Amino acid sequence: GRDTDPNCMIQDEVLMSIAEKVKNFAVIYCVDIDEVPDFNQMYELYDACTTMFFYRNKHIMVDLGTGNNNKINWPLA
């Protein structure tokens, strides 16, 4: 997401608050899409706040009933 977006900052705080609890089976990376634009087009990262999931370095889809199974583009607060 973007460091300047309030929803993205909320999401970053939520993810960092659970990082210690999930450290044995997940790694969390918070990335500003303006500072690291390499994957923006590949993963269609145009929203201010996006959460994506990977397994063994491959993008995986999640079904949350929204129709977009590639990513979550709202804060999980």
**What would the pLDDT profile of 35-49 be if each residue is shown by its tens digit?**
888 888 888 888 888
Q: Please give the C-alpha separations between residue 51 and each of 27, 41, 66, in angstroms, as whole numbers.
A: 13, 15, 14
Task: Using pLDDT thresholds of 50, 70 and 90, give the confidence band for residue 24.
Answer: very high
Residue 7 banded pLDDT, cuts 50, 70, 90:
confident
Look at residue 68 and tell me whether its pLDDT is greater than 80.
no
Question: Tell me, what's the pLDDT at 48?
Answer: 81
Asked whether the predicted pLDDT for residue 22 surpasses 80, the reply is yes
Contact between 70 and 52 under an 8 Å Cβ cutoff? The reply is: yes
Distance (Å, whole) CA 76 – CA 38? 25
